[in-house]
Structure 1
Amino acid sequence: MNRGTTIRKKQIKYINENDYNRIFVISDLHGNYELFLKFIKKVKLKKDDLLINLGDSCDRGIQSYELYLKYDEMIKQGYNILHILGNHEDMLLTTVNTLDYDKMIHWFINGGKKTIESFKRVTGLSIEDFFDLEKNKFLIDFLSGFPTLIVSDNTIFVHAAYNPDLLAEVQEEYFLIWNRENFWDRNKTGKAIYFGHTPSRKENHTIVYYPNNCTCIDLGTYRYNKMGGIEIKSKKEYYIEMLYQGDDKRRFVLGEVTGDKPLICFGVNPSKAKIVDGKLQTDKTIEKIRYVADMENYDGWIMLNLYAQVTSKPNNLDKVLNSDLHSKNIEEIEKILNTFPNSDILACWGNLIEKRRYLKYCLKDIKGIISLTKDRTWFYREKITKKGHPTHQVRTKNSARLEEFNVNEYIETL
């Protein structure tokens, strides 16, 4: 995109907001396909709604091509989806159409190789085929049809910025797609402006409201595994987040959260499930937890553990309590409890709590932290084991429901 180029007429899309029941705005997904699927499920997107993506669905994340295929599929099914051209789509198209070496390197530095890998994985084609205008026809044609600006009587939708001193028809394309300078202080258009491009710097990575009715939707999804969206008529915000705190040797937190009340689950220790490149690598325990949270209508799930050591073999648990690991685990648990004060708790450690003597003391410390934050409802599923412990979820039937668990009485018997 060259500086100084005035927006082309076909690059502006005019809409009537009254044509739609709800209008959702999202931005900067950067290949995070899983979050998008959870978002449309969370908002229960209908065919009389409009979903506006402010750009940058590609690069950095591992499922860029899948995202574009999903948008195309939904459009063909009758959903109203509009996608604005972001600077990453601009880099992709510029590279493919010019084959300019410097522009290609610039795109690669900014995550372009991830998009090519996604293309190769889905299509079975090669790197060379990505730059072939015929073999990559779907993606090139699809992105080339994206508008640079969407305008209604009340609202302006743009990827990066809007110059309030100019009419929509004479905006500079480069400014709309690439600018990071303050423009909101000059917004005298009388319209709300929704934009992305510049990630939220708020500590909790939420939507940013600037002066003069300007709103930034970019949460830094590629970095924080969290996306946000807003329904502009009701002003309701939605957040979808993947939580992961740990590594291959220890894991404190793992979860998929879609609202204020996820189901918090406690096992004995983590196995090998984790999040890599924005995608959950699951195991049998996590699969069951996901099923339970969905069946019981929770806003996702969070998996915590009595002890944070990663091992799929309980016999390999530390013989002696690692006090530093335990202290860190308590610290991370407390953060989760404070972040989600209304969440219920599912006890699911099973008989494995007897594997090491220190695990019972870990539970007592955790219960103490929970009591300090808020009195919560505890549950188990299906049955209490013959040894008196809440059943491990892998051993429960799908038809089992949550039943209240008196954790205080349980701890007294340990």
Structure 2
Amino acid sequence: MKNYFIISDIHGQYKAFEQLLSYWDEKDTLVLLGDLIDRGPRSYEVVQKVMDLKRKYGEQVVFCKGNHEAMLLDFLENPGQKHAFYYKYGGRETMASFLKYLPVEVSELDPIEQAQVVKEKFAEELDFLNNGKLYEIAGNLLLTHAGFDSSFATVDETDDENFLWIRQHYKNENKTPYINVFGHTPLQHIHDCNDVWISEDQKYIGIDGGCYFTGQLNGIVLSEDGQIVHIYAVTSDKTENYDI
């Protein structure tokens, strides 16, 4: 039976990500549920790492897009209108992370000019983020960044935006045949701690340990029929933590 190693909401915490990856059995499919970027200091390196893994392991690595990837792409398409919003929610750190790999004079440009340069110079990375999946169905698992519209019994009735942005969907009965594994909502908001949360009926599993503000990054290994094989949690180095 196939197993899935699932991680979400890395938010530029590269050291924690690397540490968690050390537990990955490469026979298992690695699934990243979005929000690779923003808030933490090393978003560019996290993106590069995921792209390298995808190149090396192909279908063994699955990347689902998160709302922060969508925010970055929206900002770069319309920096004049979007830069204040994006920078408020962690984009400043992502831009700084990308700009480190460009000539120093780019850092002296204004945010709108910088956005144009990043769009040109990092086209491959941005294309990778843009092409992330909205969700993945794997056996009995529905793998999403934020969740799905749980007022419906079928996944295909969910609007695309809800896979990236929905909140509190887990408070409704999951009428689909799948176990929904999701990130996006820090677990502190679900059950007042950072550890993986499993609903009473075991149809929802929340995994976002709030790495960018608590320093905890969770990983869960599930079989394709939804059995928990292992749960991992790592704490990022203090210098990696982002103080909101």
| Normalised TM-score (structure 1) | 0.51
Amino acid at match of 1:74: L
Q: Note the C-alpha offset of 1:23.
A: 0.7
Q: Which residue of 2 aligns with 1:141?
A: 127
Q: Which residue of 2 aligns with 1:25?
A: 6
Q: Structure 1 residues 209, 124: closer, same or farther in 2, change over 3 A?
A: farther
Q: 2:235 aligns with which of 233, 237, 241?
A: 241
User: Does residue 40 of structure 1 match 2:21?
Assistant: yes
Q: 1:88 aligns with which of 49, 53, 68?
A: 68
For 2:45 and 2:115, locate their aligned partners in 1 and report how far apart those are by CA, in whole Å. 15
Q: Structure 1 residues 155, 49: closer, same or farther in 2, change over 3 A?
A: same
CA contact (8 A) 1:161 1:175 kept: yes
Instruction: Report SS of the residue matched to 1:92.
Output: helix
For 1:241 and 1:110, locate their aligned partners in 2 and report how far apart those are by CA, in whole Å. 22
Q: 2:156 aligns with which of 164, 169, 174?
A: 169
Q: Which residue of 2 aligns with 1:229?
A: 219
Amino acid at match of 1:96: L
CA contact (8 A) 2:196 2:218 kept: yes
Alignment of 1:215-364 (within 5 A): 215-233=205-223, 234-235=227-228, 236-242=230-236, 275-278=238-241
Equivalenced residue count is: 226
Q: Which residue of 2 aligns with 1:206?
A: 195
Structure with more of its chain in helix, by fraction: 2
Q: Note the C-alpha offset of 1:183.
A: 3.6
Identity of aligned residues (%): 26
User: Does residue 160 of structure 1 match 2:141?
Assistant: no
Q: Which residue of 2 aligns with 1:151?
A: 137
Q: Note the C-alpha offset of 1:131.
A: 2.9
For 2:101 and 2:200, locate their aligned partners in 1 and report how far apart those are by CA, in whole Å. 43
For 2:52 and 2:241, locate their aligned partners in 1 and report how far apart those are by CA, in whole Å. 22
User: Does residue 185 of structure 1 match 2:169?
Assistant: no
Q: Structure 1 residues 122, 142: closer, same or farther in 2, change over 3 A?
A: same
User: Does residue 99 of structure 1 match 2:88?
Assistant: no
Instruction: Report SS of the residue matched to 1:75.
Output: helix
RMSD: 2.1
Which structure's CA Rg is the greater one?
Answer: 1
For 1:237 and 1:195, locate their aligned partners in 2 and report how far apart those are by CA, in whole Å. 14
The higher relative CO (CA closer than 8 Å, separation ≥ 6) is in 2
Question: Structure 1, unaligned stretches of length 5 or more?
Answer: 1-17, 243-255, 257-274, 280-414
| Normalised TM-score (structure 2) | 0.85
Question: Structure 2, unaligned stretches of length 5 or more?
Answer: 108-112
